[in-house]
Chain A
């Protein structure tokens, strides 16, 4: 049986899908903003001298990296309220899940970048009297941050695609919108194709923006 392809179905599904795109972007941006802060704090804790911050950071990263995101999402949305007695709105749960998940991976990116900066940089900073914090802030971090951009871009793209898993808790993001349209018109080929193109446009945009930003940073650093 040949496929009866209808381009018009693709066009007709666009307005509804754009609603999903909107939510996907909000969850991605919100999740990554919090995830970046969480990841930075955790990554720096991993380079700390104290044993306790290192141990806590390790537990967090291993627990998140070692379990599937879909399980984390369902645990957070269906499981946690049973313990706390407080229901979480699905979008909030989605943002938190993306934040906690990406934070664990970003922590490794931050740790790796900070540790890749030559120890002589810190020593030079300390020898002119900077405190440990100042040496990190003014000397190590700006250099480490530049090295983080490519792997961070990678993580941003992964997290954006991961928001599609939030269908399991009924968040009306892009994938969910696609499912709902197909439930009405049964045009799986056209609708999933449109959904895929929309994800692709978003991920390519992230890659593009980050490449421009990286080039700008390099120019400012005199290379």
Chain B
């Protein structure tokens, strides 16, 4: 169990049930500022659900989720405010198809932060530059490749200057040759010290970029540790089995 003075994310005994199906059975997780945590696990293990709880995209059955000192599920919490502190990048990108790429990025700053349009555009263009898509500012999402869409989605999240970025299988919907460009952007963010929680199947990326890897299975964290030990000497038998299957896939 990781400890730090002021954790960025603190999850305590998180339970989530969909009807009869208990997806999360007591998750405890602390993420420190600047840390990159990668979550892996078989499909249906609850890893995406756990991630979505950090942005309150799911209602929880019991437990506690604290992001940067804000208790997400406390009635008094301004959820709209807290959501701006944790950006979310989705597997299906979820870009707004009726808006240009630049408008996708500036919507949050303009409507939530009340940033004047000229300033928001400057910020948006700088972020598009950062993800290598400044030349696509006036394009529409349908005119982009999957990798470009995901990079726009990352720029859109960054526009709110979040303290944490959450990635829900960001490369799973991409053609193999487009995965690299997205991982490259994520790697650069990690190097800048962005706090990140990433659900992914990219084991090579996890090994290289993660400070800590977490294995979730059957709604619980089964094993966690720095990537070196985690991948070279997995203790949990289900993790060993999982890694074996993924490596041969």
Please report whether the interface of chain A is mostly helix, strand, loop or mixed according to DSSP: helix
Q: Is A92 engaged at the interface, CB distance under 8 Å to the other chain? A: no
Bin chain B's interface residue count.
Answer: 20 to 34
Assess the A130–B98 pair: CB atoms within 8 A.
no
Assess the A128–B87 pair: CB atoms within 8 A.
yes
Across-interface contacts of B80 in A (CB, < 8 A): 126, 129-131
A221-B84 CB under 8 A given contacts A123-B94, A143-B97, A143-B98: no
Q: Which listed residue, B57, B95, B107, touches A126 by the CB 8 Å rule?
A: B57
Assess the B108–A130 pair: CB atoms within 8 A.
yes
Please, what's the 1-or-0 string for B88-114, where 1 marks a CB less than 8 Å from any CB in chain A?
A: 101010111110100000011001110
Complexed CA–CA distance, A143 and B112 (Å): 20
Across-interface contacts of B139 in A (CB, < 8 A): 222
Across-interface contacts of A118 in B (CB, < 8 A): 92, 94
Assess the A129–B142 pair: CB atoms within 8 A.
no
Bin chain A's interface residue count.
Answer: 20 to 34
Count CB-based A-B contacts (< 8 Å): 75
Q: Is B140 engaged at the interface, CB distance under 8 Å to the other chain? A: yes
Assess the B87–A127 pair: CB atoms within 8 A.
yes
Please, what's the 1-or-0 string for A205-223, where 1 marks a CB less than 8 Å from any CB in chain B?
A: 0000000000000000111
Q: Which listed residue, A123, A128, A146, touches B84 by the CB 8 Å rule?
A: A128
Complexed CA–CA distance, A138 and B106 (Å): 12
Q: Is A139 engaged at the interface, CB distance under 8 Å to the other chain? A: yes
Q: Is A154 engaged at the interface, CB distance under 8 Å to the other chain? A: no
Across-interface contacts of A121 in B (CB, < 8 A): 94, 96
Across-interface contacts of B159 in A (CB, < 8 A): 128
Q: Is A81 engaged at the interface, CB distance under 8 Å to the other chain? A: no
Assess the A221–B96 pair: CB atoms within 8 A.
no
Residues of A at the B interface (CB closer than 8 Å) are 118, 120-121, 123-131, 134, 138-139, 142-143, 146, 221-223
In addition to A120-B92, A128-B107, A129-B80, 13 A-B residue pairs with Cβ atoms within 8 Å of each other are A123-B94, A125-B96, A127-B83, A127-B87, A128-B87, A129-B84, A130-B107, A130-B111, A139-B96, A143-B97, A222-B100, A222-B142, A222-B143
Residues of B at the A interface (CB closer than 8 Å) are 55, 57, 80-81, 83-84, 86-88, 90, 92, 94-98, 100, 107-108, 111-113, 139-140, 142-143, 153, 156-157, 159-160
